[in-house]
Amino acid sequence: MKFVLATHNAHKVAEFDQILASSLPGVSVLGYDGPEPVESGSTFVENAFIKARVAAEHTGIPSLADDSGLCVDALSGMPGIFSSRWSGEGATDSRNVDLLLAQLADVPDEYRAAQFRCVIAVAFPATASSPARELSVEGVWPGRIARAPEGTSGFGYDPIFVPEGFDVSAASLDANEKNELSHRARAIRELARVLGDA
């Protein structure tokens, strides 16, 4: 079975393909060259479905899309869907990290819990023998926010996210370790389980 992944990021396509194929032999993930939809949803689920539906409509092939971000308990779950643009116009990873640390400056360590969340939506277009259908899964990577950046691997908020069970940031983990533990890997494994049961 083939799926289109609604992203122009070749690395993400390879990651999805590798994890799904190892769990579900015969499944492959293809890149997407269609239009980028406007992510106008108010949740990870809504944005993931917006992207999956557009890709399925454009290609006529079952389509996957993910939406993810960092959710900080002390900020009522923010930055959430705004993670990549938390510091406003022209946001960069370093500006987003600096702003988040400033917002949490007075928050004691015991209240700095956070989670990376990833929702994967799947849109199956209608066929002659079956109606259109959709499903979604979620992966959650719990942890906490450090007081200063640490590590040189990863991107985004990785330098200030300390995964549960660790004393170092996600940016200090090697790529294989991070890819095994991450919210996206957890969501992809859950997707493989759901598709295998379908």
Q: Which residues are tagged catalytic? A: 67
d(CA 165, CA 86): 27
Task: Using alpha carbons, list the distances in angstroms from residue 69 to 44, 73, 127, 136, 157.
Answer: 8, 13, 33, 16, 9
To which H or E segment does residue 81 belong? Answer: none
Hey, what amino acid is at 65? A
d(CA 161, CA 118): 15
Contacts by residues 72-78 (CB-CB < 8 Å, ≥ 24 positions apart): 72/100, 72/104, 72/112, 72/113, 72/114, 72/145, 73/111, 73/112, 73/113, 73/114, 74/104, 74/107, 74/111, 74/112, 74/113, 75/103, 75/104
Note whether 50 and 40 are within 8 A (CB). yes
